[in-house]
Chain A
Amino acid sequence: MLTLYGTDFTSRLLLGTAQYPSPESLKLAVEASGAEIVTVSLRREAARARTGQGFWGLIEELGCRVLPNTAGCRTAKEAIATAHMARELFGTNWIKLEVIANDDTLQPDLFGLVEAAATLSAEGFAVLPYTTEDLSAAERLVAAGCTVLMPWAAPIGSARGLSNREALKTLRAYFPDIPLVIDAGIGTPSHAAEAMEMGYDAVLLNTAVAKAGDPVKMAAAFAKAVEAGRLAFEAGLIEPRDMASPSTPVAGTPFFKIDHAS
């Protein structure tokens, strides 16, 4: 069971709602993923288009918990104001906190992130910070009041998978009791499975499903991969070794003679 800010979830896959070929494919992909949490955003609403009004109707139909983000915010101040707008708009104090450092990598600005996390946590928000694998930033975020951390695997939308495995392992080992969600950079179900095998609590992804040839089928594939990875972690993985070790019993091998073994 995954527990985030006191709420239990069965699914360990969180899904983004952007970039799907159609509203229908988004709906079917969310269903196929089994996700109980979907990320959403807020954007400027034009008086004529009223784009957001229709989208909200679709999200309500999904019946999932919504996790609004502060995507695109460049400063703590922007992120804080966006979080406040999101709280009123979506009726939730949960916020996927993003403070973005630059356009090329979309990497978190860890300084602005910690500042915004402290302010929002003190104001009663449940902050889920999009961060890096950096241990000192993680410590600061926990000290700021975050009880969940969401380190990236790789830059948003890059599909590169776990770029810094060793640091992610360290982060997992260092925070055994903090739910850790891999957020961003996942490209394939095997990436997601690998994160889960490492003991990460959940995976958040969007592009890998939305931009797949068949988003609904890919959502189902990720659901299986996340479940498989989690089961493997719970089962306990064997240690890799350098040399072979026969799996078939050696004793009683036909035609076996001692000198064969030398």
Chain B
Amino acid sequence: MKILLNGEAFATDAKTLDELCARLGFAEAKIATAVNGNFVAALKRSTTKLAPADEIEIVAPRQGG
């Protein structure tokens, strides 16, 4: 299945957002997520099913002004 991960085309067979994060090595990482423009809380990642063409954002802390 093809999705858009952080703005770039990405192929995955992960079924849920939680699974996708784990496969990317983010299982223990300090990240936050959104699907199709809407925030998805960490606790809801395991019940958030992925569908083709989903737009996934995975963000982390960064320098800011």
Which residues of A come within 8 Å of B, CB atoms? 16-20, 26, 39-47, 50-53, 55-56, 59, 68-69, 71, 77-78, 81, 84-86, 88-90, 156-157, 184, 206-207
Residues of A within 8 A of B59 (CB): 42-45, 52, 85, 89
Residues of B within 8 A of A69 (CB): 64-65
Residue from the list B25, B39, B42, B63 in contact with A47, Cβ < 8 A: B25
Contact between chains at A39 and B31 (CB < 8 Å):
no
> How far is A25 from B13 in the complex, measured between Cα atoms in Å?
43
Q: Count B-side interface residues using an 8 Å CB cutoff.
A: 25
Residue from the list B6, B24, B30 in contact with A89, Cβ < 8 A: B30
Residues of B within 8 A of A42 (CB): 32, 59-62, 64
Given contacts A89-B59, A184-B65, 5 further A-B contacts (CB under 8 A): A16-B65, A43-B62, A45-B58, A47-B26, A81-B39
> How far is A5 from B63 in the complex, measured between Cα atoms in Å?
23
B57 at the interface (CB under 8 A from A): yes
- Given A45-B26, A47-B24, CB of A52 within 8 Å of CB of B42: no
Contact between chains at B7 and A44 (CB < 8 Å):
yes
Residues of B within 8 A of A41 (CB): 61-65
Contact between chains at A52 and B6 (CB < 8 Å):
no
8 A Cβ contacts from B1-60 to A: 6-7, 24-26, 29-34, 37-39, 41-42, 57-60
- Given A81-B38, A81-B39, CB of A53 within 8 Å of CB of B29: yes
Contact between chains at B42 and A88 (CB < 8 Å):
yes
Quick one: closest B residue to A46, CB to CB? B6
> How far is A78 from B55 in the complex, measured between Cα atoms in Å?
14
Q: List 30 A-B contacts (CB under 8 A).
A: A16-B65, A17-B65, A18-B63, A19-B65, A20-B63, A39-B64, A40-B62, A42-B32, A42-B64, A43-B59, A43-B60, A44-B6, A44-B57, A45-B6, A45-B31, A45-B58, A45-B59, A45-B60, A46-B6, A50-B60, A51-B62, A52-B61, A55-B61, A81-B39, A84-B32, A89-B31, A89-B60, A89-B61, A157-B65, A207-B65
Quick one: closest B residue to A45, CB to CB? B60
Contact between chains at A56 and B63 (CB < 8 Å):
no
- Most B-side CB within 10 Å, residue of A81, A86, A184: A81
- Given A44-B7, A81-B34, CB of A50 within 8 Å of CB of B29: yes
Q: What is the minimal beta-carbon distance from B46 to any residue of chain A, in angstroms?
A: 15
Contact between chains at B32 and A86 (CB < 8 Å):
yes
Residues of B within 8 A of A51 (CB): 60, 62
10 closest A-B pairs by beta carbon, nearest first, are: A52-B60, A41-B64, A16-B65, A206-B65, A84-B39, A85-B32, A45-B60, A18-B63, A44-B6, A43-B62
Contact between chains at A55 and B63 (CB < 8 Å):
yes
Contact between chains at A45 and B29 (CB < 8 Å):
yes
Residues of A within 8 A of B61 (CB): 40-42, 52, 55-56, 59, 89-90
- Most A-side CB within 10 Å, residue of B38, B59, B60, B65: B65
